[in-house]
């Protein structure tokens, strides 16, 4: 797995149609809360539409491309407007559905970018957009919410693909609970060193990448086999390779091994539509590995204000989690993301400070079940060309 770098210079070569389909299937293989798949994609190739998209963005870097004031986005052979079907998301999750939909879309975009990288393509993700202006350009219905724009193409010959520096796991990895909590001096486990693992490589072999994405399942039953040595470091190294807003890397990970802490987390979970106590996800107690993924809202809030606290930190966390899930699948491990929990109880169990919020619980282990693939929405239902009211595909897509 290699680092994905935002690239803002592209060759004019068009993308082959079979590659576009492959990228969209990678997008569709992503996990989503309760398999809602609340995403829509508009593929934009027309120059006049891309010019209007530039006007609908809030990213000043869009004016620095080879087209001068018109922006580098216009140079990209393909621009995907990535959207959330808010009606689909809120029908299942109520007011929180919009946030869950944005998180699911972030994981789907990461899948697509990994396959693009394996295909030798460059990409750039633009999140800062004027929602209402974008609605007008793309003729979006009221319930569809913009998530961002993804530019794709073959990188220009003189473009630099050097990745920005990343935090090492020692800087964001904790064991059992947040360090330094009041009354925790005696019971807190000592910090552990983190060695560089042999990482599963997902770039350069497109068949292997697509196979890993297609094999991923949500696993809720695990064998008693111990996890491989270095599994924590491998997954966290994969997480650190994720792109993030302004390279803020606002993620924190707590490895839960203490049965008492794990039981508190299980008690804070719920299944289905009932979010009250007494409806926990009991299977989680038997997961050999459990990682509480949290986000540091102070880090993103300092740069992006209220939207950084409410939105950007969670989206960045979702991208990092998807890297972890993909790496675990490549190692032969099963995973399941648990987002159904009462945040206040999880924060108390992990003794989190106010600015660190629990995001998702990640269960890890060797699968004791092999569920079939869950149905995916047809690409023809969720993919559009240049505007929302124009289909990209006609008929089934293989």
* C-alpha closest to that of 44 among 99, 7, 83, 70: 83
Residue of 158, 123, 119 lying closest to 4 (CA atoms): 123
pLDDT at 305: 86
Helix axes 17-28, 97-118, angle to 10 degrees: 140
**Distance separating alpha carbons of residues 217 and 127, to the nearest angstrom:** 28
At the second CATH level, the architecture of 17-161+375-385 is: 3-Layer(aba) Sandwich (3.40)
Asked if 111 contacts 27 with a C-beta cutoff of 8 angstroms, the reply is: yes
CATH code, 169-365: 3.40.109.10
Where are any strands of DSSP class E within the chain? 39-44, 78-85, 122-126, 144-153, 173-175, 251-255, 289-296, 334-338, 356-365, 383-385
Q: Which two tokens stand for residue 151?
A: 């530019």
Which range, of 30-34, 159-163, 288-292, averages the lowest pLDDT?
A: 159-163
Query: Around 263, how many Cα atoms within 13 Å sit in the side-chain half-sphere?
Result: 3
Residues of the chain with CATH 3.40.109.10: 17-161+375-385, 169-365
Mean confidence (pLDDT) of the chain:
87
Neighbouring residues of 85: CB distance < 8 A, sequence distance ≥ 6: 38, 39, 40, 101, 143, 144
Query: 28 in the Ramachandran plot: left (φ > 0), alpha (ψ -120 to 50) or beta?
Result: alpha
Contacts 24+ apart (CB under 8 A), 173-176: 173/232, 173/236, 173/253, 173/255, 174/252, 174/253, 174/254, 174/255, 175/254, 175/255, 175/257, 176/254, 176/255, 176/256, 176/257, 176/258, 176/261
Q: Is the pLDDT of residue 200 over 70?
A: no
Highest mean pLDDT among 28-42, 85-99, 170-184, 273-287: 28-42
Calculate ∠ Cα 255-191-301, nearest 5°.
65
- Contact between 288 and 364 under an 8 Å Cβ cutoff? The reply is yes
Are 95 and 153 in contact by the 8 Å Cβ rule? The answer is: no
Calculate what percentage of the chain has a pLDDT beyond 70. 84
343-382 per-position pLDDT tens digit: 999 999 999 999 999 999 999 999 999 999 999 999 999 9
Highest mean pLDDT among 102-111, 183-192, 294-303: 102-111
Residue among 273, 296, 359, 356 at smallest CA distance from 324 = 359
Which residues, in sequence order, are CB contacts of 129 under 8 Å at separation 6+?
56, 57, 58, 59, 146, 148, 149
Tell me the backbone φ, ψ of residue 337, rounded to 5 degrees.
-90, 130
Query: What token pair was written down for 171?
Result: 């800087």
Query: Mean pLDDT over residues 234-243, rounded?
Result: 93
pTM, two decimal places: 0.86
pLDDT of 67: 44
**Pairing assessment for the beta strands 356-365 and 334-338 based on DSSP bridges:** antiparallel
The number of C-alpha atoms within 13 Å of 118 and in the hemisphere containing its C-beta is 24
Q: What SS3 state is found at 105?
A: helix
Note the Cα 245 to chain centre separation in Å.
Answer: 12
């Amino acid at each position: 797995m290699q680092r994905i770098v935002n690239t803002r210079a592209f060759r004019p070569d068009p993308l082959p149609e079979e590659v576009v389909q492959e990228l969209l299937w990678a997008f569709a293989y992503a996990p989503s809360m309760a398999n809602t798949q609340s995403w829509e994609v508009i593929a934009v190739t027309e120059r006049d539409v891309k010019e209007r998209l530039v006007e609908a963005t809030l990213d000043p870097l869009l004016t620095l491309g080879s087209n001068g004031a018109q922006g580098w986005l216009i140079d990209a052979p393909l621009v995907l407007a990535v959207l959330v079907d808010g009606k689909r998301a809120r029908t299942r999750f109520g007011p929180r559905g919009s946030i869950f939909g944005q998180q699911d879309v972030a994981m789907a975009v990461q899948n697509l970018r990994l396959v693009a990288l394996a295909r030798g393509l460059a990409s750039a993700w633009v999140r800062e957009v004027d929602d209402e202006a974008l609605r007008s350009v793309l003729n979006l219905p009221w319930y569809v919410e913009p998530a961002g724009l993804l530019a794709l193409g073959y990188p220009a010959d003189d473009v630099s693909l050097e990745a920005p520096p990343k935090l090492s796991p020692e800087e964001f990895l904790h064991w059992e609970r947040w360090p330094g909590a009041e009354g925790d001096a005696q019971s807190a486990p000592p910090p552990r060193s983190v060695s560089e693992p042999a990482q599963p490589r997902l770039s350069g072999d497109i068949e292997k990448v697509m196979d890993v994405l297609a094999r991923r399942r949500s696993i809720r039953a695990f064998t008693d086999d111990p996890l491989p040595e270095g599994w924590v470091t491998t997954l966290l190294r994969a997480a650190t390779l994720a792109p993030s807003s302004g390279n803020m890397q606002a993620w924190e990970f707590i490895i839960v091994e203490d049965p008492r802490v794990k039981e508190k987390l299980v008690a804070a979970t719920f299944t289905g539509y009932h979010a009250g106590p007494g409806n926990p996800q009991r299977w989680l107690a038997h997961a050999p590995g459990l990682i509480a993924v949290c986000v540091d809202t102070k880090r993103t809030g300092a740069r992006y204000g209220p939207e950084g606290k409410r939105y950007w930190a969670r989206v960045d966390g979702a991208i990092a989690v998807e890297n972890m899930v993909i790496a675990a699948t490549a190692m032969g491990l099963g995973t399941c993301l648990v987002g159904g929990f009462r945040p206040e109880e999880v924060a108390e169990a992990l003794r989190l400070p106010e600015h660190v919020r629990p995001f998702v619980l990640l269960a890890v282990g060797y699968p004791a079940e092999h569920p079939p693939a869950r149905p995916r929405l047809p690409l023809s239902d969720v993919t559009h060309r240049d505007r929302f009211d124009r289909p990209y595909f006609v008929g089934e897509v293989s």
